[in-house]
Chains A and B, each alone.
Chain A
Amino acid sequence: MSRFIRQLCAVLALGLSALPVVAEPSLLNVSYDVARDFYKDYNPLFQKHWKAVAGESVELKQSHAGSSKQVRAVADGLEADVVTMNQASDVDFLADKGLVSKDYARRFPNNASPYTSTMVFIVRKGNPRAIRDWPDLVKPGVQVILPHPKNTGNGRYTYLAAWGFALGQPAGNERTAQDFVARLLQNAPLFAAGGRDATTTFMQRKIGDVLVSFESEAELIAREFGKGEFTVVYPSLSILTEFPVAIVNPVVDRKGTRKLAQAYLEYLWSPAGQENAAQNYLRPRSPEMLKKYAEQFPPIRTFTVDEVFGGWSKAFPAHFKDGGSFDQIYQKK
């Protein structure tokens, strides 16, 4: 018995002394919910790349949940080396807390967003309600499915897309835009809990005539429910959705992983990273890659949150904070 214990101790001691030698650097990427597939494909690409350039293997850990929940966790001490989000307002929150650089959007190209997407319409097979553009969504009797505009990123983008469209019409102003959005929301029989819930409600429970969602989501619907089950409609104008990435300064400084984190995010703009985006139906920034996958990304006229709303830091309080334009729509009655 005592011999067994002695052996056990010896093994443990050996194991402990060996640990620091075998421990490979690790990186925690805290991300939004539906980025799971993207980073599941991206991480092995980066690991191979890092092995080739730095000769060291690296452990990559992922965490996915609702984006604002994720940044609150980072602010509360979750040891994220990098954050990869689907809305600038979430990274802005971390910038306000001093966890990421104030100018994070300029630390990487393209507003620190390695890929983009846009909001499109998904309608029933053959488009029976003849939905072509935003005005068709506010017609009486048309049912629109979207996630909660105040509580979900997906819903907020839909809301701002409709607002921006109405604002861009001849004689469009804040007032007509709010009326337009109010009529659209009146056509919503429910507000889904999130993007995926909206998809389930539309595709599986067959509720509604049109689902407004990310272009990238359409491909996932095709995989799940079959390509012939629905038609994707591109409106005449939509919103460009950006997915900002940033380094969490105090964490990488403490762990000594800044170089690695920088490389991890930079590699998103490499041909391999850009191609991975395209393969996940996210619009790559690289013009060559966009051309290569032109078939799956039809040209669409878009505007950014910065152009029409002066950035998320203005759009969020104006529309989605308590008392903002969304709440006003529901207080008129």
Chain B
Amino acid sequence: MIDFARVQKELQECSRDMESSGIKVAPKSDNLARLTGTIPGPISSPYEGGTFQIDITLPDGYPFEPPKMQFATKVWHPNISSQSGAICLDILKDQWSPALTLKTALLSVQALLSAPEPDDPQDAVVAQQYLRDHQTFVGTARYWTETFAKTSSLGVEEKVQKLVEMGFPEALARSALESVGGDENSALEKLCSG
């Protein structure tokens, strides 16, 4: 059974110092078991300037079991799958402790962005590139940040406008954006598939 009272407290705590940490956690719906975390790309890393969305699913045993976290925004990083967004981080596995919180976990994920550990990779291709051709790695990571992590920095109205220009009805575009948490690419995908 998830300790929802605690999750509630965590959300409050997080929103209180959102300004300073830049880290945001919001429930996807009324159900507190599924949340979306947002972290800014760390300064002086190829991820600088990007805003990264992370899907969070709380297991039944939370806070005794670690939250499941996965990048919703595409990232080029040795410890994050470029396909699925799966994160390889010890505190999200056996080193998790109830002393940690969603916020501290997201801070660790943010720290992982600045300090990749290519020797313990999640994405072997990226890790190879990181070790053998660092220049290209930085370039790719920066390009991915520009392409996937910056669209969400646009205001909602601008995004709606963009989608309307593409030929979708405004109401539909707006609801699609809302349902995917404001991510323009996902909204587009949704609109195209729907």
> A and B bound?
no
